[in-house]
Structure 1
Amino acid sequence: MAGVGPAVTSSRDHPNVVVVFTDQQRWDTAGCYGNPMDVTPTLDAMADRGTRLEQCVSSNPVCGPQRASLQTGQYPTECGIYRNLMSGEADSPIEDTTTLADAFNDAGYRTGYVGKWHIANTRLEPVPERLRGGYEDYWLAADALEHTSQAYEGTLYDGDCEPVEFEDRYRVDFLTDHAEEFIADESDSDDPFFLFLSYLEPHHQNDQDTYVAPDGYAEEFANPWVPPDLEGRPGDWFEELPDYYGCCRRIDENLERLLATLEREGIDDETIVLFTSDHGCHFRTRNREYKRSCHESSIRVPAVLQGPGFDDGGTVEDVVSLLDLPATLLDAADVEVPDSFQGESVSPLVAGNEDGASGAERERPADAFIQVSESAVERTLRTDRWTYSVYDPDADPIDDPASPADGYVERYLYDLRADPHQQVNLIGRPDYREVADELRERLQARIREYEGTDVEILEAEYPA
């Protein structure tokens, strides 16, 4: 693994860092984002005492690319994992990329990973050390956890590539057991630690194509609150929401366990905790599956931080990307951010920081750039008000990382102030041409900045 600089020896000048990462969790499952069902009391309390990112969106709303983006600090096309890797392909590019764990290693941290990895392309086999993204000191993971386990039984692999099996234990609980073990073992060390805990839930169980809450939990949400973007649309949300919310409730209870462990070990005040997810879930209302679209239900995620630099931070209203979070964690831990990282720390936006200021005052980009793959070769600009998305109808959504002809066609335009649930596509309407033209120029600038390509974007030929 590539390094970023000399090791730091004054270790306890740096806070510990814990990332709790879920899979396919909508932002509005949480009470702190408006859910009325008391699904996430622990996360809600964490948001009250820490910092909540109001508008945090994926850099690519599909598992593998977003995970690769978060570990490398780069857009999926830049780090080379722009779609889920497939059986028979060559080794993952993660081997040759400077990662988040590399940066923490070089700063004298102990690094550990627990759960779903999904960027090594070993699928059902153990992930060899060279494909673990620099996590050196503790490893218990499966590359394709959804295929090596069920909700109450399965197999992961330890640092020696030996199988570690579980049964009669809910998967979220089992992963949390090992995260607690790592924290307890490291709490007395002179060195700080960086732990990444990656759950599969609330993602559906692939072979069953359904969500699986812990026993008895779906019943609690048998009459669930329905997010307005789902109402009136076909899809499987009616059948799946009870289990989906049940998964989120159990995750929240395990978050409570983790926070209690930090407090019990006496290190809660010196530990940064980030809770977030890779993408959302639209329950087959926007395409044939659950994500891979530019809509809020696909791209918007919960993102809450607490600990040094984030306590009493309030709410960051600016649009930010998950790609900004690797730089944010390193910045808050006073660790050098690798030059290869493409995101920007949100720490200066947090209330109470000496250099805290609005995005406009800091000339921070007032938008987020999103790459959509597998369903289409699509590029999206998400601003505080607008979602503007373009695609190449002739590109291969699986094989082409970007438009092979350097050209796109307008596809979606939503006014999030007037239509927050994205019911009316405004693309191609003459009365919105001026808005679309401005957004087109901004999106072209982002593609040029992050992908190094000048592209043509053709106007939609007719109103959507």
Structure 2
Amino acid sequence: MSVIKYLLTPLFLSLLINAHAQEQPNIIFLMTDDQRWDNLGCYGKKEFVTPNIDALAEKGVVFDKAYYAVAICMPSRVTMMTGRYNSNHQVGFVAPTDYTLSQKDFQNSYPAQFKKAGYRTGFIGKVGFTVTEQAKRPSTPTKHYYKQQMGEVFDFFAGSETTETKGHVIWPENDAGLKQIYDTNRKNSGRTLRTGEAMLRFLETQPQDQPFCLSVSFYAVKHDHDSHIYWPHHEQFESVEMSVPDNWVVENEVLPKVVRENARGVRLHKQRSSTPEKYQRLVRRFATQGYSVDAQVGKLVDYLKKQNLLENTIIIYTSDNGRFQGAHGLFDKCLLYDESVKAPLIVYDGRATVRPYRDSALISSVDIAPTMLSLAGLKIPASMQGRDFSGLMNGQQNRSNWRDAVFFEDLFVAQLFNERYNEQVDLINDRLIENNKSYRSHGIRTGRYKYFRYYEHFPVIEELYDLQEDPLEQNNLAHNSAYFELLKQMRKRTDQLYEQAHKKASKAH
């Protein structure tokens, strides 16, 4: 047989395809819900028992200055899927940036790009946003059609809008294993354990000759209702005195008046975290849910090892936003203090020959999608605004050319969330701004300082912190004359980064 004829035989082509599949890494993206960056052992809080996540951190890269481009679930999730800023994709809870994600934009998300590249794709857990043929308002329709919206992108799906009780959908519909996991008649093992079971089911059904990209969006650690707790895991935390940060206060009179009077985090703090007893109960329950997630991560790694998949798999661990837990006299998220906008970010690369380390480079959640594609050797769509940070991990990035600041924004206004189905919502928004009740904000973090401003308020309210000397953001330097030149520089840099984030807003809107 001639060489050319041999190269065209089914056997050779099959070997070639299998070899190519092995060269392409598997990607697993793990995201929790509302898990604060420091609620993990590897970020210094050993009272949060997370041995399996800590083990990934010890063998991977831990980013100590990772930030959310936006710190509330729906827009944050879309930012991480599309690599675009909230001001750009305009998917959020409240007017005027309350659009669904168009099919066109979804096709430029990382799962769609992996699917086009021949990967088997899976999604498990909380979706948190809606895809429609064209972007439309409001972003929170009363009904979802996930199979119609996402069926072409995900080969395997077990998810819902926000909870398993809200329109949970699975496919392949004939997968007996999936049906059993989510059978309403089986003994309730809890939402986190079910997510772990579905994650393993995806791997059990994975063809050997195809790489995969699996996105797992845990419902935990959001909320602390009894039904969300796997009680056998709570026993170890029942008597633990959880540490209280020095910026926890019963009531914070230093917060800007517009925040104290309008942001829902103030009200929720009074209800949920404003006494030592409430705080301890709440944080123990968050620790329990974090431990339950950690147990699923352990099962995942064990399975990958047994199937000889770990050495060709990249695991990325993060959350969608932080949670105040009483810090600054707040509960909730959104606002631009570190408890809300600082992110846990761990990248474990089974292929890596680089020694594990901790990195202090400034990373944004907008970077995650382009980095995932780059790690797999795939082309990054022009629509993605984030930067590929894989070069930081493999030593190829010239650090002097890396970014000098990360941009973040908060476009959420609680009053507008209550009016999201009101046809007059844009008029209501205008009146809120006219009446000085808007607390939308944006700003930047540099290597040492953080600056942000409530830009729709008159006069503009500004906050400036030296995070090296004041990591708990207790001393606002914006009115300190010694920092006037720095303040001008931070204003200018914020203007520049906002313009870059906003200027390419989707024409579909």
Q: Measure, in 1, the Cα distance between the counterparts of 2:329 and 2:480.
A: 23
Structure 1 length-normalised TM: 0.83
For 1:92, the equivalent position in structure 2 comes to 100
- Distance verdict in 2 for CA 1:84–1:224, change over 3 Å: farther
**1:173 paired residue among 182, 193, 200:** 193
- Give the alignment of 1:57-76 within 5 angstroms: 57-76=67-86
Which residue matches 1:56? 66
Give 2:490's aligned residue.
439
Match of 1:377 in 2: 440
Q: CA deviation at 1:412?
A: 1.4
Q: How many residue pairs align between the two structures?
A: 417
Partner residue, 1:255:
297
CA distance in 1, matches of 2:466, 2:53: 29
State the one-letter code of the partner of 1:92: T
What secondary structure does 2:450 align onto?
strand
Aligned to 1:265: 307
In structure 2, relative to structure 1, the CA distance for the partners of 1:51 and 1:204 (3 Å cut) is same
> Which residue of 2 is the match for residue 390 of structure 1?
453
CA shift, 1:288, in A, is 5.4
Distance between the aligned counterparts of 2:153 and 2:247, measured in 1? 39
- 1:161 to partner: Cα distance: 8.0
CA contact (8 A) 1:57 1:279 kept: no
Structure 2 counterpart of 1:331, one-letter code: S
* Rounded Cα–Cα distance in structure 2 between residues aligned with 1:344 and 1:281: 26
CA shift, 1:201, in A, is: 0.7
Q: Which residue of 2 aligns with 1:457?
A: none
- Relative distance call for 1:285 and 1:29 in structure 2 (3 A) is closer
Q: Deviations over 1:14-59 (max 9, x none)?
A: 1000011101111111121111225111111111111111111111
TM normalised by structure 2 equals: 0.76
Distance (Å, rounded) in 2 between the aligned partners of 1:317 and 1:160 = 42
**Structure 1 match to 2:211:** 192
Which of 493, 500, 505 is the matching residue for 1:449?
500
> Are the counterparts in 1 of residues 84 and 385 from structure 2 also a CA contact under 8 Å?
yes
Q: Secondary structure at the match of 1:273?
A: strand
Q: Distance in 1 between matches of 2:440 and 2:385?
A: 21
Output one character per residue of 1:251-285: Cα deviation in whole Å (capped at 9) or x when no partner: 11111011111112110101100111011110244
2:70 and 2:410 in contact (8 A); partners too: yes
Equivalent residues in 2 for 1:406-417, closer than 5 Å: 409-417=460-468
**What is the aligned-residue identity percentage?**
22
- Counterpart of 2:214, as a letter, is L
Q: Is 1:346 matched up with 2:395?
A: no
Once the two structures are TM-superposed, the CA of residue 438 in structure 1 deviates from its matched residue by: 0.9
Describe how 1:228-377 pairs up with structure 2 within 5 A. 228-234=245-251, 235=269, 236=273, 237-286=279-328, 289-307=331-349, 308-309=351-352, 312-350=355-393, 353-358=394-399, 361=400, 363-375=401-413, 376-377=439-440
1:217 matches 2:233 = yes
Is the 1:387–1:415 Cα contact (8 Å) retained in structure 2? yes
8 Å Cα contact 1:217-1:243 kept in structure 2: no
Partner of 2:153: 135
SS at 2:335 equivalent = coil
Q: How does 1:28-67 map to 2 (within 5 A)?
A: 28-37=38-47, 39-67=49-77
Q: Structure 1: which 5+ residue stretches go unaligned?
A: 1-7, 395-406, 454-464
1:157 pairs with 138, 145, 169, which one? Answer: 169
CA distance, structure 2, for counterparts of residue 306 and residue 176 of structure 1: 19
What letter is aligned with 1:217? Answer: H
Contact 2:245 2:327 in 1 (8 A): no
Q: CA deviation at 1:226?
A: 2.2
8 A contact 1:56–1:303 mirrored in 2: yes
The residue that corresponds to 2:6 in the other structure is none
CA deviation after TM superposition for structure 1 residue 244, in Å: 0.8
Name the structure with the higher helix share: 2
Q: Distance in 1 between matches of 2:373 and 2:247?
A: 37
Deviation at 1:80, TM superposition (A): 2.2
Distance apart, 1:126 and its partner CA: 4.5
The answer to whether the 8 Å contact 1:127/1:143 transfers is no
Q: State the Cα distance separating 1:81 from its structure 2 match.
A: 0.5
Deviation at 1:286, TM superposition (A): 4.1
Deviation at 1:135?
A: 3.0
**Bigger share in strand:** 1
Structure 2 residue runs without a partner (length 5+): 1-15, 131-138, 252-268, 274-278, 414-438, 505-509
Contact preservation (8 Å) 2:126, 2:219: yes
Question: Once the two structures are superposed, what CA deviation does each residue of 1:128-166 show, in whole Å capped at 9, x if it has no partner?
Answer: 334339632111110122xx43xxxx8621137899444
Supply the AA of the counterpart residue of 1:422. Answer: E
SS in 2 for 1:337: coil
Which AA in structure 2 matches 1:292? C
Deviations for 1:157-196, whole angstroms, at most 9, x for unmatched residues?
Answer: 113789944451111110111111111211x431100000
SS at match of 1:202: coil
Q: What corresponds to 2:472 in structure 1?
A: 421
Deviates more, 1:96-105 or 1:215-224: 215-224
Determine which of 30, 39, 47 is the counterpart of 1:20: 30
The answer for the alignment partner of 1:400 in structure 2 is none
RMSD, aligned CA? 2.8
| Distance in 2 of aligned mates of 1:81 and 1:287 | 28
Q: What SS does the corresponding residue of 2:64 show, helix, strand or coil? A: strand
Which amino acid in structure 2 is aligned with residue 241 of structure 1? V
Residue equivalent to 1:398: none
Alpha-carbon deviation of 1:229? Answer: 4.7
